[in-house]
Structure 1
Amino acid sequence: MPRNIAEFRLIGQVGGIDQKEKVTFVNVASNYNRQVDGEWQEETLWNRVTCFAKCAEYASNAGKGDMVHVTGRVKQSQYERDGSTIYGTDLIADSFSVLSRASSGD
């Protein structure tokens, strides 16, 4: 039987870390080049990654500006707010690695 998979792989720089009691959220920026009106422009996209357990420990050791590699699964969520249904997409990390540390001058 085929298995459906919703996974992600992200390489980028840490913009911030929000460590809670049982979960750590990491904002990771990735840069993409795209052509706009014949000119190439760099676009930065921010991704909020959710880390639990051992992965959260690894993430909490990263610092702002560090280059990281994160893989995991994509989870759809929904909830009610003020009578409206809010939909979201969560990036749940299964693996978190620091590829290189930010230079001390940053």
Structure 2
Amino acid sequence: MRSINRFTVAGNVGSVTSFNKAVKVSIAADRHWTNDAGKKETRTDWVTVTVFDDQAAWIKDNVSKGQPVIAEGRISNSSYEKDGETVYTTDLVATTFNAFQVANANTSD
């Protein structure tokens, strides 16, 4: 059987951090459910999305905090050393990244 590593996240941008040829976009994706007591609950998952090259340059210039986005790609685990400690990360490495304009509530038709 062929294996697949493909994930999609849709949510709102929390931050965009630029690096040399990449950007890391923090995306807030909300989960909603009803608990056992019948109360509606919401939790936010923060997903780090890494984007490279030309697409990264476009994101740096055109994407901002709060903007709705959708990204698709593969999950990648890595680690690095910081202050003598190993820091483990899990990122979605994007092959597709789309940003949407926020509708202006004050605009009339």
Equivalence for 1:91:
92
Equivalence for 1:14:
13
Deviation at 1:89, TM superposition (A): 2.2
Cα separation, 2, equivalents of 1:56 and 1:29? 19
Equivalence for 1:27:
26
Report sequence identity in percent: 32
- Distance of aligned partners of 1:103 and 1:28 in 2 relative to their CA distance in 1, 3 Å threshold: farther
* 1:100 partnered with 2:86: no
Give the secondary structure class of the aligned counterpart of 2:55: helix
Deviation at 1:87, TM superposition (A): 4.5
Give the secondary structure class of the aligned counterpart of 2:50: strand
Cα separation, 2, equivalents of 1:102 and 1:22? 31
Deviation at 1:85, TM superposition (A): 6.6
Q: Give 1 or 2: higher strand fraction.
A: 1
Range 29-38 or range 68-77, more displaced = 29-38
Matched residues, number: 103
Deviation at 1:37, TM superposition (A): 4.1
Deviation at 1:103, TM superposition (A): 5.2
- Distance of aligned partners of 1:17 and 1:103 in 2 relative to their CA distance in 1, 3 Å threshold: farther
* 1:4 partnered with 2:3: yes
Deviation at 1:90, TM superposition (A): 2.1
The runs of 5 or more residues in structure 2 that have no matched partner are none
Task: Kindly provide the amino acid, as one letter, of the partner of residue 90 in structure 2.
Answer: T
Deviation at 1:74, TM superposition (A): 0.9
**Contact 1:34–1:43 at 8 Å: present in 2 too?**
no
